[in-house]
């Protein structure tokens, strides 16, 4: 009886009422799961032969088909290979176009304002070959423009705000005329301090700057002392 009384007391609520266990209800529900697709790559990716010693590649819709095509520069054969895209990750056989000697970089841009991307190929021997898009992904023969020898990079943008695409080849700027031609290259001046001579010039410039700052502080402090000296008496300041 003692055990039964204690057991019943433990089951009493603070208000003295017997505690009644609540029945637990399990409700079944339907949850909508998100439809997901896991992307994967082919075990053996397809390959498309280029020319010998390819150096750079650019992607653009050269044919105007809404599909990306590829252009690759081949240094040993002095050509640029254009691969028309099928839109499914595969490409048609390449079409080669002759450019300058030792091509090393390329970029795509609309150089004549016809809405079709053209190609600019930089050659290490000191030229940039411009190939205008003739439509349907075919290009006209390359036209060369002189740049410093050894140039190996190119960028396309409207740098002077005239609405025409310009070229920057390494440190040279070629302004576009809007018809697929470019003005002579303007080399950007570079300031180079080589060896101890450059370091000495920088130290001398810093020393002169420090002396000028000290002189300015001295004049200001002296002027403040003169003001304090003459403020109680005459308002006239002597130089």
Q: Three-state DSSP class for 145?
A: strand
Count the helix, strand and coil residues of the chain and give each as a percent rounded to the nearest 5. Answer: 20, 30, 55
DSSP category for residue 91: B
Which region holds residue 230: left if phi is over 0, alpha if psi is between -120 and 50, else beta? alpha
Check pLDDT > 60 for residue 12: no
Question: What pLDDT, in 10s, does the model give residues 172-227?
Answer: 999 999 999 999 998 876 555 455 555 455 555 554 444 433 333 333 434 344 44
Q: Closest Cα partner for 156 from 102, 105, 97?
A: 105
How would you label 193-211 residue by residue, b for 16+ Cβ within 10 Å and e otherwise? Answer: eeeeeeeeeeeeeeeeeee
Please give the Cα distance from 142 to 123 (Å, whole number): 12
Residue in the block written with tokens 């003692």: 2
pLDDT digits 0-9 by tens, 88-141: 989 999 999 999 999 999 999 999 999 999 999 999 999 999 999 999 999 999
Q: Is 209 helix (H, G, I), strand (E, B) or coil?
A: helix
Model confidence pTM above 0.85:
no
């Amino acid at each position: 009886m003692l055990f039964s009384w204690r057991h019943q007391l433990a089951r009493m609520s603070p208000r003295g009422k017997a505690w009644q266990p609540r029945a637990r209800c399990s409700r079944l529900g339907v949850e909508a799961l998100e439809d997901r697709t896991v992307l994967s790559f082919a075990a053996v990716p397809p390959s498309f032969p280029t020319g010998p010693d390819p150096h750079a590649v650019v992607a653009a819709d050269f044919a105007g088909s809404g599909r990306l095509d590829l252009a690759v520069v081949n240094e040993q054969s002095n050509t640029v290979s254009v691969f028309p895209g099928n839109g499914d990750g595969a490409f048609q056989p390449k079409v080669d176009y002759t450019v300058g000697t030792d091509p090393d970089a390329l970029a795509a841009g609309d150089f004549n304002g016809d809405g079709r991307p053209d190609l600019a190929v930089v050659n290490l021997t000191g030229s940039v070959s411009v190939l205008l898009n003739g439509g349907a992904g075919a290009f006209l023969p390359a036209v060369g423009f002189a740049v410093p020898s050894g140039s190996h990079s190119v960028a396309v943008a409207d740098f002077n705000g005239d609405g025409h695409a310009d070229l920057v080849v390494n440190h040279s700027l070629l302004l576009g005329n809007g018809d697929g031609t470019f003005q002579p290259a303007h080399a950007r001046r570079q300031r180079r301090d080589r060896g101890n001579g450059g370091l000495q010039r920088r130290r001398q410039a810093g020393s002169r700057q420090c002396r000028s700052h000290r002189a300015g502080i001295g004049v200001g402090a002296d002027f403040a002392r003169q003001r304090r000296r003459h403020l109680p008496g005459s308002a006239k300041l002597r130089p």
